[in-house]
Amino acid sequence: MIDKRTSIEKALERVRDGDRVMVGGFGVPGTPFTLINGLLGKGTRGLTLIKNEANEDGMGLSRLIEAGRARKLICSHLGLNATVIGMMNRNEIDVEFYPQGILAEKIRAGGAGLMGILTDIGLDTILENEKQCIEIEGQRALVEPALRADVAFIHAFMADDFGNLVYQKSARNFNPLMATAADTVIAEVEAIVDTGDLDPEHVHTPGAFVDHVVVMEEITSEYGVLEHHAL
């Protein structure tokens, strides 16, 4: 039986200085805090990070960026992170913004072995300025090249030893897309079951996409409810 369970130290050996790293999550749900914190401890630098947002100040991806480990951030928005916006405005990090669904499609294309997508999103806006524009069936379209990464950090609720993954609720978001779009895919999981115990009908990411499964030792407070977002 294939067993992809790996220690976090061993899994993170796959990340090298200068790598492009995709990181799942939208806000707290789905953010692989354990892997991010592990990478922070390891000291890897010169990274290009790809994530929907940078988490909030002092949390998750923001900690890597605040520690100066990232050269570039490719994301959709930074609305809840004044620290990273400040770093961007001071040119301490290069930030590339994409419309959220276009970012998702670029990653999906990368994972699907396609070279890019064509879209009318962003036509007649300043996004058009630096992009290739073509005409297809009489309509203008922007060319958005596919996105891939060296490594993807995924957070899933449950895995089996083979690496089949199941996500939970709004913690799915970018995770299943990024799990297809990197050369090395590391999934941290809250729970592990024996291969055969997951219903194949309910697997969100097939194990073939996953290289390493890191079983989390604990659900730290970062994964919990943020009081400032509660009523």
Partner 1 sequence: MWWSWKRSHPNTGYWNITPYKEKIAQRAAEEIAAGQVINLGIGIPTLIPKYLPDDKPVFIHSENGILGMGPRCRPGTEDRNLIDAGGNYVSLMKEASFFDSALSFALVRGGRLDLAFLGTLEVSESGDLANWIIPGKFSPGIGGGMELAQKSRRLIVTSTHTDRNGRPKILRECTLPLTAKGCVDTIITELAVIDVTPEGLVLREIAEGVDLDEVIRKTEAPLVVPQQDLPRF
**Residues in contact with partner 1 by the rule CB under 8 A:** 26-30, 52-53, 75-82, 85, 88-89, 95, 97-105, 107-108, 120-127, 157, 168-177, 223-226, 229-231
182 within 8 A of 151, measured Cβ to Cβ: yes
**Least CB distance to partner 1 at residue 122 (A):** 6
**Least CB distance to partner 1 at residue 155 (A):** 10
Judged by beta carbon, residue 64 or residue 166, the one nearer partner 1 is 166
Judged by beta carbon, residue 3 or residue 219, the one nearer partner 1 is 219
Look at the alpha carbons of 108, 114, 116, 117 in this order and tell me if their dihedral is positive or negative.
Answer: negative
**Least CB distance to partner 1 at residue 51 (A):** 11
Judged by beta carbon, residue 1 or residue 90, the one nearer partner 1 is 90
Judged by beta carbon, residue 12 or residue 50, the one nearer partner 1 is 50
Judged by beta carbon, residue 132 or residue 170, the one nearer partner 1 is 170
Q: Is 110 helix (H, G, I), strand (E, B) or coil?
A: helix
Distance CA 159, CA 100 (A): 27
* Pairing state between β 139-145 and 133-136: antiparallel
**Least CB distance to partner 1 at residue 7 (A):** 25
Distance CA 160, CA 158 (A): 7
Distance CA 144, CA 129 (A): 13
- In the chain the first and final C-alpha atoms are separated, in Å, by 47
40 within 8 A of 49, measured Cβ to Cβ: no
**Least CB distance to partner 1 at residue 79 (A):** 2
Q: What's phi and psi for 204, nearest 5 deg?
A: -90, -45
